[in-house]
Amino acid sequence: MSILKILTAVTVMSAVAVEIGETSSQPSQPAQAIHMDEDRVAVSGYDLVSVTSGKQAIMGRPRYRIEHEGVNYHFISERNALQFKADPKKFLPEFGGFCAYGVRMGQRHRVDPSAFEIVDGRLFLFLDRATRKLWMENVDGNIASAEQQWSAVQLAQF
């Protein structure tokens, strides 16, 4: 078999593997700090499409998993998984999925995915509902403060 035919076959096989979602054994590293568990699952496995679109926190299923930038996201259906895959940035939470109020304070905190707020199409997650309530007292100011802190919070070792 000629070198050209071998290279063509390898290229086609690689394209098919990428299309069906095969991943390498070495996951890529996220572009930013992301709140995830030891299995690299973000948002405690909650379906970000349900949160963002339906405004309700619903636990996703590992069977409908999408890996994005080295992080696993779970969804309640193939439809939601495909929506996410088509435009992940539309659904990803701000500040890597860490508590937005914590980021405002220069800290990283876990979140309760049922404690969230959508502001101008942006998803913000919080430690709990009480923290969300504090955030809502000054939404614009808190967003501005968190955005200023985010670069430092990402780099800090916690």
Q: Is residue 78 part of a domain?
A: no
pTM of the model as a whole:
0.78
Q: Is residue 153 part of a domain?
A: yes
Number of helices (H) and strands (E), helices first, in the chain?
7, 4
Q: How sure is the predictor about 14, in pLDDT bands with cuts at 50, 70 and 90? A: very low
Q: What is the pLDDT of residues 92-151, one digit of tens each?
A: 999 999 999 999 999 999 999 999 999 999 999 999 999 999 999 999 999 999 999 999
Q: Is residue 116 part of a domain?
A: yes
Torsion of CA 27, 32, 38, 41, to 10 degrees: -80
Q: Is residue 158 part of a domain?
A: yes
Q: What is the pLDDT of residue 41?
A: 94
Q: Is residue 77 part of a domain?
A: no
Q: What is the pLDDT of residue 9?
A: 39
Among the listed residues 94, 58, 93, the one whose alpha carbon sits nearest the alpha carbon of residue 76: 58
Q: Is residue 58 part of a domain?
A: no
Q: Is residue 41 part of a domain?
A: no
Q: Is residue 22 part of a domain?
A: no
